[in-house]
Structure 1
Amino acid sequence: MIGLAKTAGGPGNVELIERPEREPAAGEVLLDVLAAGVCGTDLHIEAGEYAAVPPVTLGHELCGVVRAAGDGVDAALIGARVVSETFFSTCGACPPCREGRPNLCALRRSIGTHVDGAFAPRTIVPARNVHRIPAWLAPEGAALAEPLACVCQCMLDPAAVAPGERVLVVGPGPMGVLAGQVARTLGGEVVLSGLPRDAARLEVARGLGLEATDTLADGFEADVAIDASGSAAGAAICMEQVRSGGRFVQVGIFGRPVTVPLDLVLKKEIDLSTGFASTPLSWRRAIRMIERRDVALDPLVSEVAALGDWRRVFDDLRASRGMKVVFDPQASA
C-alpha cells in the first residue's frame, strides 16, 4: 500500500512510497484508517525538528474501523469504529511505566515516529490502545481524540484551572481551541488570543462560545495562562500576562531551543507545568469528555484531504491557513 513516510533523517525526506503490510500479531488489531489528523509534530518531523526512526509511516491522530484481530483479541471488536492511543510499546518495568506514565518511558515506541502510523490506508495498533467512539461522532472529528487526550494530560492531572479563574490561552490552533474548551469545562473564564492572521481560527473559537481576540486589553491579567502556540513569543506573553502567584501551562511544542523570560517565573512565583503526549488516564478522561459532549471536535476540522495533497497541506498549516486538516487515506489523490 502507499503511505506518507519519513524516509531518512534531517529536513525533508518525506514522500509517498510503497509501505509494507502484515497481519496483526497476538494482541493487535488491523485498522482501515478512516481519518488521520495532521499534527504539528508531523510538521516538526518533516522539518527534522522532532526525532523519528525512518523509514516510518507518519500519522498518530486516527480514527478507523477494526478490520482484523490477532490472537487473544475479543472478536467483538471487528467492525467497531475506534480511536487509538499512540504508544505501540513500552518497557513496562521502569518507574514511569509502573506509575502509569508510559509517556515517559525511555524505551517507548510510538506509531508515526517509531512504528508505522496512520498516513496510509491501513495500520496496526495494540488492541489495548483502542477506544470505541459514539455513533454520532464523524471519523474526521474523532481523529482529534488524540490531541484532546494530550490536552487532558497537560491540564487535568492535577486540574490546572479552578472554577471562576480567568484563563488566557495563547494560540488559536486546534490545541488552543481544545485547551480553551477543557478550561471552560473546568469552570474557567476563557480568553483565547491570537494574531491578526488568525482571524479564521479565532472565528471558529467564537463559534464554540469562546471569547477570542487578536488584541488583549491593557492591563489584562490571568490566573492561568496556557501557551498552545509552541512559540517563544507565545510563551513570553503567557509569562507576562499571568498574575503573580498564577499558573503557566505549556501545551505547545517549540521544536527547537527558544529563549523565554524565565526570570518572570522566579519574580512572580509562577507555577509552571506541562505534559508530554498522553497516558491511559488522560485518554479515559478525553473519551468521557467526548461522550458527555463537553468538547466539540467536528467544528475544528477545516478540510479533509487526500494523502496526495500532503505538500500543500503541510505548507498551509505552517502558514496558519485552516484549522485542522485530516487526511482520508482511502481517497485517491
Structure 2
Amino acid sequence: MKALGVTPGKKDSLELLDIDEPQESEGSVLVEVIAVGLCGTDKEIVSGQYGEAPPGSDHLVLGHENLGRVVSAPDGSGLSEGDLVVGIVRRPDPVPCAACAQGQWDMCRNGKYTEHGIKGLHGFAREHYRADPDAMVKLDPALSDVGVLLEPTTIVAKAWQHTEAIGRRAFFEPKVAVVTGAGPAGLLAALLGVQRGLEVHVFDRVTDGPKPDLVKDLGATYHNDTLTDSGVLADVLIECTGVPSVVMETITKHGLDAVTCLTGVSSTGKRLPVDVGAANREAVLGNDVVFGSVNANRTHYEAAAEALAKADAGWLKRLITRTVKLEDFSQAFERQEDDVKVVLDVKGS
C-alpha cells in the first residue's frame, strides 16, 4: 500500500513509499484512512529536526492528525464497519509509569511513550492501519468532512480542561478569554471559549485572508495589534504561537487571578529583555497561574469530539483551506498565503 514517509533525522527525505499492509498483531480493528492533516510538527520532522522510526524500520510514516473508516472490527468492540474513527496519537509507555497506568499518557513520567507519526510508531499517512478499539475514538457521522480536525481540537480541549481545573482552586468566574494565534489551534481554542459563553479575543498578525472573518463569524473579536496595545485584560489566556514576545505578553498582560496556558512550542535561542522582578511581583500579587500543556489523552479526544459535534459544520469546513491528493504531497508542504489547515486526501488518491 502507499504511504508517505521520511528517514528520521535526514532533511527533505519525504517520499511516497510502498509498504506492507498492517499485520493483525498491530490491532484487531482495520481502518481505511480518509485524510491526514498537516501541521508544524510534520514540517519539523520533514526538515530532520526530530522523529523516531519504529523498531526495525528505517523510515517513519508521517501523519498524526487523521480520519478514517472502520473496515472490520471484532464483535463486542463497540465499533462496526463504516464507523468514522480517529486514531489516538500518543500511546502509553510499556512499563507503564503511574500516569500512563491511569490513562493519562499525556502526562507520561518517564518519556517512554510512543506517538504515531512522531516517535516510535508509524503515522496515519497510509492507506490502512490497524489498532485496538481503545486506541481510537468513534465520531458522529456528521463530521465526515471535518473529523480530521479532531486531533488539533484535543490539544486545546486539554488546555481548557486544565485551565478550568486550576481556576477551581479558588473563586473562578471567567468572563474574558484571549487566544494568541489564529492558526488551526488558535481558532479551535477560540471555538471552545465561545462555546463556554466567554467574550473571546483572538490576536494574530494578518490583516486579510480568511482568519479575521473566521474569528468574526465565530462571534469573537479579531485583533492585529498587540495584547499590550489592545488593553484587553483577560481571565483566561491560551497561547498558541510559541513566539517568545507573545508568550511574555500572555504571562504579564491580563486581569487578576488569571490562568495562562502555553501550548505553542517555541524555537530556542531567542533572547528578550525581561524584568523578572516585575513579572514575579505581578504574578504573586495577582494570584497568577502559568502552565504548559502538550498532547492529549482519551478524555480530551472525547471532549473534542463533543465540541466539534456542537459546532457549525460550515464554519469548521472553512478551516480546511486546501486538500491535496497523497501523490501530490509536495504541494501540501508549499506554504500558500491563505493557508489555515492543509489536508492530505489519502482515500481519494
Specify the code of the residue in structure 2 equivalent to 1:180.
Answer: A
Equivalent AA in structure 2 for residue 111 of structure 1: H
Structure 2 equivalent of residue 151 of structure 1: 156
Tell me which residue corresponds to 1:277: 295
1:165 and 2:175 matched: yes
Change (3 A) 1:221 1:26: closer
Residue deviations 1:157-214 (CA, integer Å, cap 9, x gap): 2417765422111110000001111122233211001113664222222222221121
- C-alpha separation in 2, matches of 1:197 and 1:36: 29
Within the alignment, does 1:183 sit opposite 2:189 as a pair? no
Matched residues in 2 for 1:321 and 1:149: separation?
24
Instruction: State TM-score, norm by structure 2.
Output: 0.84
**CA distance in 2 between partners of 1:93 and 1:112 (Å):** 21
Tell me the distance in 2 between the aligned counterparts of 1:124 and 1:257. Answer: 40
Other structure's SS at 2:321 match: strand
Any conservation in 2 of the 1:163–1:188 contact (CA below 8 Å)? no
> Are 2:344 and 1:327 equivalent residues in the alignment?
yes
- Within the alignment, does 1:266 sit opposite 2:273 as a pair? no
- Cα pair distance change 1:130/1:215, threshold 3 Å: same
Tell whether 2:87 aligns with 1:84.
yes
Give distance in 1, aligned partners of 2:129 and 2:246: 35
How far has the Cα of 1:313 moved from its partner? 2.0
Question: 1:43 aligned to 2:55?
Answer: no
Query: Across the two proteins, how many residue pairs are aligned to each other?
Result: 328
**Aligned partners of 2:82, 2:310: CA distance in 1, in Å?**
24
Give structure 1 stretches of 5+ with no counterpart: none
* Counterpart-to-counterpart distance in 1, 2:88 and 2:127: 18
**Larger-Rg structure:** 2
CA distance in 2 between partners of 1:262 and 1:11 (Å): 39
1: distance between equivalents of 2:230 and 2:69?
50
- CA–CA distance in structure 2, aligned partners of residues 288 and 331 of structure 1: 27
1:228 pairs, out of 204, 221, 240, with 240
Aligned to 1:297: 316
State whether residues 37 and 144 of structure 1, in contact with CA within 8 Å, keep that contact through their aligned partners in structure 2.
yes
CA contact (8 A) 1:3 1:18 kept: yes
Alignment match, 2:253: 241
Q: Residue deviations 1:207-229, cap 9 Å, x none?
A: 22221121255433222222111
**What is the SS of the residue equivalent to 1:118?**
coil
Percent sequence identity over aligned pairs: 22
- Choose from 214, 237, 262 the match for 1:204: 214
CA contact (8 A) 2:180 2:246 kept: yes
- Paired amino acid for 2:241: S
Query: Does residue 1:94 correspond to 2:97, yes or no?
Result: yes
Instruction: Specify whether residues 267 and 287 from structure 1 end up closer, same or farther in structure 2 by C-alpha distance, changes over 3 A only.
Output: same
For structure 2, the residue ranges without an aligned partner over 5 or more in a row are none
Q: Which amino acid aligns with 2:232?
A: F
User: Among 59, 65, 69, which residue is 2:63 paired with?
Assistant: 59
Query: Could you tell me how far apart the structure 1 residues matched to 2:107 and 2:10 are?
Result: 24
